[in-house]
Amino acid sequence: MSTTSSRRRARRLGLVAAAAAALVTASIAYSRTRKVPAKAPAGAPAITPTKTSAKTHGKQSVTPRQKRLASAAAPLAAKKRLLYTTYFYTANEAVVHGYAKDTHVRIVSLERKGTVWKGVVGVGETRLVNTGRGAFAFVSDKKASILVGTPSRCAVVGYWVRDERGSFLSKRFFTRLPSAVSNGGERVIVWAWENTRIKIIDRRPKRQSRTLYSARIRANGHYEITGAALRRLNGAVLEIRADKPVIGVQVYYDEGFFVQSSNGNASGRHFLTFVGRITDGRNDLSMFAYKQAAKVAVTDIKSGKAIWRGTIKPGKLHTLTLTDRYVRIDSDVSISAAVAPYAHHLGSSYMEHHFAAGQEGTGVEDDLMLTTPRELWLFSYFDQNPITVTDGHSGRVVWRGTLDAGHAAPVHPGRGFYRVRSLKGVSAMGGAMACGAEFSPAGRLFALDEALFKVLAQIRRARQKRAAARGQRWTRAQAQAPLTKTELDQVVHAARRHTRRAAPAAAAEVRERIKKMQSR
């Protein structure tokens, strides 16, 4: 390790230690039995979006109006629990999917300066919120998933379902289906990585929940709903259950999505997906290699025959144009795969939206690759985050700027293949116009919050026990003491393990999440 690397690592560890110590103190304060007046979450999101242009890096002051508006994201209940706070970007709508009883949710517009919606959702319940286009803060007392885009206004969409943890792999999913079947090639597909038994349940409001289908699926197999059976479920809320967490759910009403891998992320070594024919008789399957060359095999699941075998160079993609094929993708290293228009549709008017995946596959990352028919939308989850967009083929810089947490920047590079790099976690969405839908990757940050909250509570309790064993009175000074090396290792390990990051969680990201965590 070089001297520079050693210094950098030491600095990062110091930042994590300082931030973690701060949350230990906060955790202690909230553990006391007392009434606490409601206040805005620490680090409440700024309301005015950062306006950035090429090569612009400016700091943003907080105005009195912004401070007043921060109360819009105030806690929803006065109980001692973690509030899940994240941000998302949408073209027009947000569909909140509840996974727990009495989940209190508030959606705050960062542009129109106020609460767009607040309410309660139960298990299997959804709420369609007409947010309009923009960036929003999402605050809830329990985990939930968010389908964004235009799932009700424009039904020609495609996506993989995420659960309340932001994972594509689970034993239970809820999803609200598009409002109409219009092309005839639509289908809902349940994929299984291991032998399992599934149930598909109709959870529409004002109807008694009923099981529509029960089936056994063999490993690497699937079960699907198509045709007239799917048409009867226009706009329905479905619950898909399995006897173990080995299934993924693909909602195919058009192309425009990254594919789930066997590990529950959008990157990995093994993928199963359907590549259809909506809108113009064929779809593109693109595969992206990151820092290593990838040896990839694409196989037709039904025939067992090879469709393509080859090597994808680091930082490049390979695209296949297919029609109505059920395919398996296998790679010797981690890659990502997307079914989105690129090679077969050379114009810039294909209406779709899809979130990019990076090498880690969470969708909230610092290195992302994607194609787009026309536009990119960049969205930061952290403050003072420098971002660079380059052409994936030539390396030419097409946009550079800095975004704060909860801020988005539209970029119009035209049809192409692009790479998005940043200092801290961002999301990138490709597409054109207001027609598309996909589950937001924002929920992936919930895992980091939970990990930090739990491990720091454990550290607090351990410190209290040691003080009691020595006959000492528990003091604020003890709570504020810097983390020991052992405690620091606990924090960093929890951040890595619970977010499934292949690389160490960036210290700056951990520090900011700790500052913005709120509990009651």
Cα–Cα distance for residue pair 505/312, rounded to 1 Å: 27
| pLDDT score at 501 | 61
Its pTM stands at 0.80
Strand pairing of 294-300 and 325-339? antiparallel
HEC profile of 138-195: EEECCCEEEEEECCCCCCCCEEECCCCCCCCCECEEEEECCCCCCCCCCEEEEEECCC
pLDDT in tens, 381-406: 889 999 999 999 999 999 999 999 88
Q: Which residue has the higher pLDDT, 377 or 86?
A: 377
Structure tokens at 283: 């779809």
Cα–Cα distance for residue pair 519/78, rounded to 1 Å: 9
* Cβ contact 286:340 at 8 Å: yes
Cα–Cα distance for residue pair 239/361, rounded to 1 Å: 24
| pLDDT score at 248 | 98
pLDDT in tens, 461-490: 888 998 899 898 888 888 777 777 788 778
pLDDT in tens, 136-176: 989 999 999 999 988 888 888 999 999 998 999 999 999 99
Cα–Cα distance for residue pair 141/327, rounded to 1 Å: 39
Would you call 342 helix, strand, or coil by DSSP?
Answer: coil
Q: 245 pLDDT exceeds 50?
A: yes
Place 77 in a pLDDT band, splitting at 50, 70 and 90: very low
